[in-house]
Amino acid sequence: MDLRTGREFRLRVDPLDLDATLGCGQTFRWEREPDGCWRGVVGHDICRVQAHGDGVLVESLTGDARSEEAVSRYLRISDDVAAIQEALSTDEVLSTGISEVRGLRLVKMDEWECLVSYVLATYANIPRIKRMIETLSSSFGQRILRDDHAFPSIDDLEKATVEELVGCGLGYRAQYVRDLCDTMDVNELRRMKRMRYPRLRDCLRELPGVGDKVADCVSLFGFGKLEAFPVDVWIRRALQRLYGVEGSYATLHEFAARKFGAYAGYAQEYLFYNERALSPKGGCVFSE
DNA sequence: GCCCAGGAGTGTG
DNA sequence: CACACTCATGGG
Protein backbone atom coordinates (compact mmCIF):
# COMPACT_ATOMS: atom_id res chain seq x y z
CA MET A 1 0.00 0.00 0.00
CA ASP A 2 1.42 3.37 -0.99
CA LEU A 3 0.91 5.84 1.83
CA ARG A 4 2.35 8.74 -0.10
CA THR A 5 -0.42 11.22 -0.51
CA GLY A 6 1.79 14.28 -0.58
CA ARG A 7 2.83 16.36 -3.51
CA GLU A 8 5.69 18.65 -4.41
CA PHE A 9 5.88 22.05 -5.96
CA ARG A 10 8.37 24.80 -6.50
CA LEU A 11 8.11 28.44 -5.58
CA ARG A 12 10.27 31.31 -6.66
CA VAL A 13 11.27 33.23 -3.54
CA ASP A 14 14.22 35.53 -3.91
CA PRO A 15 16.09 36.40 -1.83
CA LEU A 16 15.51 33.72 0.79
CA ASP A 17 17.61 32.31 3.61
CA LEU A 18 15.52 29.55 5.14
CA ASP A 19 17.73 29.14 8.19
CA ALA A 20 17.43 32.81 9.05
CA THR A 21 13.77 33.17 8.14
CA LEU A 22 12.38 30.08 9.84
CA GLY A 23 14.96 29.81 12.61
CA CYS A 24 15.34 33.37 13.86
CA GLY A 25 12.50 33.22 16.36
CA GLN A 26 9.78 35.18 14.58
CA THR A 27 7.80 31.95 14.13
CA PHE A 28 7.89 28.87 16.30
CA ARG A 29 6.66 25.73 14.57
CA TRP A 30 9.57 24.89 12.28
CA GLU A 31 12.35 22.41 12.81
CA ARG A 32 15.51 22.10 10.79
CA GLU A 33 16.29 18.58 9.72
CA PRO A 34 19.87 17.34 9.37
CA ASP A 35 19.79 17.69 5.59
CA GLY A 36 18.93 21.39 5.83
CA CYS A 37 15.29 20.86 5.03
CA TRP A 38 12.77 22.68 7.23
CA ARG A 39 9.66 20.88 8.45
CA GLY A 40 6.71 22.78 9.81
CA VAL A 41 2.98 23.13 10.18
CA VAL A 42 1.21 25.55 7.87
CA GLY A 43 -2.47 25.68 8.71
CA HIS A 44 -3.70 22.10 8.46
CA ASP A 45 -0.79 20.94 6.37
CA ILE A 46 2.67 19.64 7.10
CA CYS A 47 5.34 21.02 4.80
CA ARG A 48 8.93 20.18 4.16
CA VAL A 49 10.74 23.12 2.59
CA GLN A 50 14.21 23.21 1.12
CA ALA A 51 16.22 25.74 -0.82
CA HIS A 52 16.10 25.13 -4.55
CA GLY A 53 17.58 27.47 -7.12
CA ASP A 54 16.13 30.93 -6.68
CA GLY A 55 13.39 29.65 -4.42
CA VAL A 56 12.19 26.60 -2.59
CA LEU A 57 11.08 23.07 -3.21
CA VAL A 58 8.08 22.30 -1.05
CA GLU A 59 6.65 18.93 -0.14
CA SER A 60 3.11 19.04 1.20
CA LEU A 61 2.62 15.87 3.22
CA THR A 62 -1.16 16.02 3.12
CA GLY A 63 -1.26 16.92 -0.54
CA ASP A 64 -3.79 19.65 0.09
CA ALA A 65 -4.50 21.50 -3.13
CA ARG A 66 -4.33 24.86 -1.36
CA SER A 67 -0.86 24.18 -0.03
CA GLU A 68 0.90 26.17 -2.70
CA GLU A 69 -1.14 29.25 -2.00
CA ALA A 70 -0.71 28.80 1.75
CA VAL A 71 3.07 28.54 1.61
CA SER A 72 3.33 31.42 -0.84
CA ARG A 73 1.37 33.56 1.54
CA TYR A 74 3.34 32.32 4.54
CA LEU A 75 6.66 33.24 2.93
CA ARG A 76 5.25 36.54 1.70
CA ILE A 77 6.51 35.83 -1.79
CA SER A 78 4.82 38.92 -3.18
CA ASP A 79 7.00 41.18 -1.02
CA ASP A 80 9.65 42.82 -3.14
CA VAL A 81 12.29 42.24 -0.50
CA ALA A 82 15.14 43.51 -2.67
CA ALA A 83 13.34 46.82 -3.12
CA ILE A 84 12.50 47.02 0.57
CA GLN A 85 16.13 46.41 1.46
CA GLU A 86 17.24 49.05 -0.97
CA ALA A 87 14.83 51.55 0.56
CA LEU A 88 15.99 50.72 4.09
CA SER A 89 19.64 50.87 3.05
CA THR A 90 19.54 54.64 2.87
CA ASP A 91 20.27 54.19 6.55
CA GLU A 92 23.95 53.33 6.78
CA VAL A 93 23.61 51.24 9.93
CA LEU A 94 20.80 49.16 8.51
CA SER A 95 22.57 48.81 5.18
CA THR A 96 25.38 46.96 6.94
CA GLY A 97 22.99 44.85 8.97
CA ILE A 98 20.97 43.81 5.94
CA SER A 99 24.06 42.69 4.07
CA GLU A 100 24.67 40.17 6.85
CA VAL A 101 21.38 38.35 6.21
CA ARG A 102 20.23 39.20 2.72
CA GLY A 103 17.74 36.35 2.67
CA LEU A 104 15.99 37.08 5.95
CA ARG A 105 12.31 37.59 5.23
CA LEU A 106 9.30 38.23 7.37
CA VAL A 107 6.67 35.51 7.50
CA LYS A 108 2.90 35.79 7.58
CA MET A 109 1.45 33.61 10.31
CA ASP A 110 -2.17 32.87 11.00
CA GLU A 111 -3.59 35.76 13.06
CA TRP A 112 -4.94 33.67 15.94
CA GLU A 113 -1.92 31.42 16.12
CA CYS A 114 0.31 34.46 16.16
CA LEU A 115 -1.71 36.15 18.88
CA VAL A 116 -1.60 33.18 21.22
CA SER A 117 2.02 32.42 20.38
CA TYR A 118 3.24 35.88 21.32
CA VAL A 119 1.15 35.97 24.47
CA LEU A 120 2.96 32.77 25.40
CA ALA A 121 6.26 34.33 24.39
CA THR A 122 6.21 36.82 27.24
CA TYR A 123 9.09 36.26 29.62
CA ALA A 124 10.11 32.93 28.12
CA ASN A 125 12.99 31.90 25.89
CA ILE A 126 12.50 30.56 22.40
CA PRO A 127 13.01 26.86 23.16
CA ARG A 128 10.37 27.06 25.82
CA ILE A 129 7.98 29.02 23.64
CA LYS A 130 8.26 26.30 21.02
CA ARG A 131 7.64 23.62 23.59
CA MET A 132 4.54 25.35 24.94
CA ILE A 133 3.12 25.73 21.46
CA GLU A 134 3.79 22.10 20.52
CA THR A 135 2.23 20.83 23.74
CA LEU A 136 -0.76 23.10 23.25
CA SER A 137 -1.19 21.91 19.68
CA SER A 138 -0.91 18.21 20.42
CA SER A 139 -3.32 18.59 23.33
CA PHE A 140 -6.03 20.72 21.72
CA GLY A 141 -5.28 21.10 18.01
CA GLN A 142 -6.77 18.89 15.34
CA ARG A 143 -4.60 16.00 14.34
CA ILE A 144 -3.16 16.28 10.84
CA LEU A 145 -0.87 13.28 10.42
CA ARG A 146 0.52 10.96 13.06
CA ASP A 147 1.98 13.17 15.79
CA ASP A 148 1.44 16.41 13.94
CA HIS A 149 -1.36 18.68 15.05
CA ALA A 150 -2.68 21.96 13.75
CA PHE A 151 -2.49 24.95 16.04
CA PRO A 152 -5.75 24.91 18.05
CA SER A 153 -8.47 27.20 16.73
CA ILE A 154 -10.40 29.52 19.04
CA ASP A 155 -13.10 26.87 19.35
CA ASP A 156 -10.54 24.15 20.01
CA LEU A 157 -8.84 26.16 22.73
CA GLU A 158 -12.12 27.35 24.18
CA LYS A 159 -12.59 23.86 25.61
CA ALA A 160 -9.39 23.97 27.65
CA THR A 161 -9.51 24.62 31.38
CA VAL A 162 -6.88 26.70 33.13
CA GLU A 163 -5.66 23.56 34.88
CA GLU A 164 -5.17 21.82 31.56
CA LEU A 165 -3.35 24.84 30.18
CA VAL A 166 -1.06 24.89 33.20
CA GLY A 167 -0.52 21.23 32.48
CA CYS A 168 0.81 22.26 29.07
CA GLY A 169 3.57 24.14 30.87
CA LEU A 170 2.18 27.62 30.29
CA GLY A 171 2.63 28.73 33.88
CA TYR A 172 0.96 32.05 34.64
CA ARG A 173 0.28 32.47 30.91
CA ALA A 174 -2.48 29.88 31.21
CA GLN A 175 -4.88 32.46 32.57
CA TYR A 176 -4.05 34.88 29.74
CA VAL A 177 -4.87 32.24 27.16
CA ARG A 178 -8.07 31.35 28.96
CA ASP A 179 -9.16 35.00 29.10
CA LEU A 180 -8.13 35.45 25.49
CA CYS A 181 -10.47 32.65 24.43
CA ASP A 182 -13.32 34.26 26.34
CA THR A 183 -12.63 37.66 24.85
CA MET A 184 -11.96 36.72 21.23
CA ASP A 185 -14.12 35.07 18.60
CA VAL A 186 -13.96 34.61 14.85
CA ASN A 187 -16.11 37.66 14.20
CA GLU A 188 -13.86 39.93 16.20
CA LEU A 189 -10.88 38.44 14.40
CA ARG A 190 -12.54 39.16 11.07
CA ARG A 191 -13.15 42.75 12.07
CA MET A 192 -9.57 43.18 13.12
CA LYS A 193 -8.29 41.89 9.79
CA ARG A 194 -9.86 44.89 8.11
CA MET A 195 -8.27 47.46 10.40
CA ARG A 196 -5.32 49.61 9.59
CA TYR A 197 -2.27 49.33 11.79
CA PRO A 198 -2.80 52.10 14.34
CA ARG A 199 -6.30 51.00 15.28
CA LEU A 200 -5.43 47.32 15.10
CA ARG A 201 -2.59 47.92 17.49
CA ASP A 202 -4.88 49.70 19.93
CA CYS A 203 -7.44 46.91 19.68
CA LEU A 204 -4.87 44.19 20.30
CA ARG A 205 -3.47 46.21 23.16
CA GLU A 206 -6.76 45.84 25.02
CA LEU A 207 -6.65 42.05 24.98
CA PRO A 208 -5.55 40.14 28.07
CA GLY A 209 -1.83 39.42 28.09
CA VAL A 210 -1.19 41.84 25.23
CA GLY A 211 0.98 44.87 25.88
CA ASP A 212 2.83 47.19 23.50
CA LYS A 213 5.37 44.65 22.37
CA VAL A 214 3.01 41.74 21.79
CA ALA A 215 0.55 44.03 19.99
CA ASP A 216 3.29 45.00 17.57
CA CYS A 217 4.47 41.43 17.07
CA VAL A 218 0.95 40.28 16.27
CA SER A 219 0.38 43.26 13.99
CA LEU A 220 3.56 42.43 12.11
CA PHE A 221 3.82 38.64 11.99
CA GLY A 222 0.11 37.85 12.19
CA PHE A 223 -1.74 40.67 10.48
CA GLY A 224 1.10 41.54 8.14
CA LYS A 225 1.41 45.20 9.04
CA LEU A 226 4.89 45.98 7.79
CA GLU A 227 5.05 49.33 9.57
CA ALA A 228 4.76 47.67 12.99
CA PHE A 229 7.96 47.76 15.04
CA PRO A 230 8.08 45.46 18.07
CA VAL A 231 10.51 46.66 20.72
CA ASP A 232 11.92 43.88 22.90
CA VAL A 233 15.13 43.58 24.88
CA TRP A 234 17.17 42.82 21.77
CA ILE A 235 15.83 45.80 19.87
CA ARG A 236 16.49 48.00 22.88
CA ARG A 237 20.10 46.86 22.90
CA ALA A 238 20.41 47.33 19.15
CA LEU A 239 18.96 50.84 19.17
CA GLN A 240 21.16 51.80 22.07
CA ARG A 241 24.29 50.31 20.57
CA LEU A 242 23.81 51.40 16.98
CA TYR A 243 21.95 54.68 17.28
CA GLY A 244 22.51 55.72 20.87
CA VAL A 245 18.77 55.89 21.41
CA GLU A 246 17.00 54.75 24.55
CA GLY A 247 13.85 55.46 26.48
CA SER A 248 10.27 54.34 26.77
CA TYR A 249 8.52 52.01 24.35
CA ALA A 250 6.75 54.97 22.76
CA THR A 251 10.02 56.82 22.30
CA LEU A 252 11.76 53.93 20.58
CA HIS A 253 8.72 53.06 18.49
CA GLU A 254 8.43 56.63 17.32
CA PHE A 255 12.12 56.74 16.48
CA ALA A 256 11.74 53.64 14.32
CA ALA A 257 8.57 54.85 12.64
CA ARG A 258 10.27 58.09 11.66
CA LYS A 259 13.47 56.46 10.52
CA PHE A 260 12.21 53.32 8.80
CA GLY A 261 8.67 54.27 7.81
CA ALA A 262 6.42 51.78 6.05
CA TYR A 263 8.97 48.95 6.31
CA ALA A 264 9.88 49.34 9.96
CA GLY A 265 8.91 45.70 10.47
CA TYR A 266 11.62 44.49 8.12
CA ALA A 267 14.09 46.86 9.74
CA GLN A 268 13.19 45.40 13.10
CA GLU A 269 13.88 41.88 11.91
CA TYR A 270 17.32 42.74 10.57
CA LEU A 271 18.21 44.58 13.78
CA PHE A 272 16.85 41.74 15.89
CA TYR A 273 18.71 39.06 13.96
CA ASN A 274 22.06 40.81 14.04
CA GLU A 275 21.83 41.81 17.67
CA ARG A 276 21.18 38.21 18.65
CA ALA A 277 23.84 36.92 16.28
CA LEU A 278 26.58 38.74 18.10
CA SER A 279 25.37 37.70 21.50
CA PRO A 280 26.92 34.51 22.94
CA LYS A 281 23.47 33.43 24.09
CA GLY A 282 21.42 34.20 21.04
CA GLY A 283 24.02 33.51 18.39
CA CYS A 284 22.89 30.09 17.32
CA VAL A 285 19.44 30.02 15.84
CA PHE A 286 19.06 26.24 15.75
CA SER A 287 20.32 24.53 18.86
CA GLU A 288 18.28 26.47 21.37
C1' DG B 1 22.14 26.00 42.02
C1' DC B 2 21.81 30.19 39.52
C1' DC B 3 20.33 33.39 36.13
C1' DC B 4 17.48 34.81 32.64
C1' DA B 5 13.79 34.63 29.33
C1' DG B 6 11.30 38.37 21.96
C1' DG B 7 6.66 41.15 29.03
C1' DA B 8 2.36 42.21 31.12
C1' DG B 9 -0.46 43.69 35.00
C1' DT B 10 -0.89 46.21 38.98
C1' DG B 11 0.22 49.38 42.40
C1' DT B 12 2.79 53.49 44.04
C1' DG B 13 5.40 57.94 44.02
C1' DC C 1 4.89 59.32 33.26
C1' DA C 2 8.47 56.59 35.75
C1' DC C 3 9.57 52.84 38.52
C1' DA C 4 9.02 48.51 41.48
C1' DC C 5 7.23 44.32 42.15
C1' DT C 6 5.19 39.96 41.00
C1' DC C 7 3.81 36.41 37.93
C1' DA C 8 5.23 30.14 37.06
C1' DT C 9 8.68 27.56 34.82
C1' DG C 10 12.13 25.67 32.08
C1' DG C 11 16.44 26.22 29.38
C1' DG C 12 21.38 27.22 29.34
State the 10-residue block means of pLDDT for chain A, 288 residues long: 77 98 97 96 97 97 96 98 98 97 98 98 96 98 96 97 97 98 97 98 97 98 98 94 94 97 98 89 56
Residue closest to C9 C1′ by Cα: A171
What local confidence, expressed as pLDDT, does residue A286 receive?
53
SS3 of residue A28 by DSSP:
coil
**A205: nt with nearest C1' to CA:** B8
What is the distance in angstroms measured between the alpha-carbon CA of A52 and the sugar C1' of B3?
A: 42
Cα of A38 vs its chain's centroid, Å? 15
SS3 of residue A187 by DSSP:
helix
* DSSP 8-state secondary structure symbol assigned to residue A218: I
Looking at A149-196, list the stretches that DSSP marks H as alpha helix, in order from N- to C-terminal side.
154-158, 162-167, 173-183, 186-193
Secondary structure element (H or E) that encloses residue A141, with its range: none
What are the φ and ψ backbone dihedral angles of A165, each rounded to 5 degrees? -65, -40
SS3 of residue A55 by DSSP:
strand
* CB A139 under 7 Å to nucleic chain B: no
Cα of A258 vs its chain's centroid, Å? 24
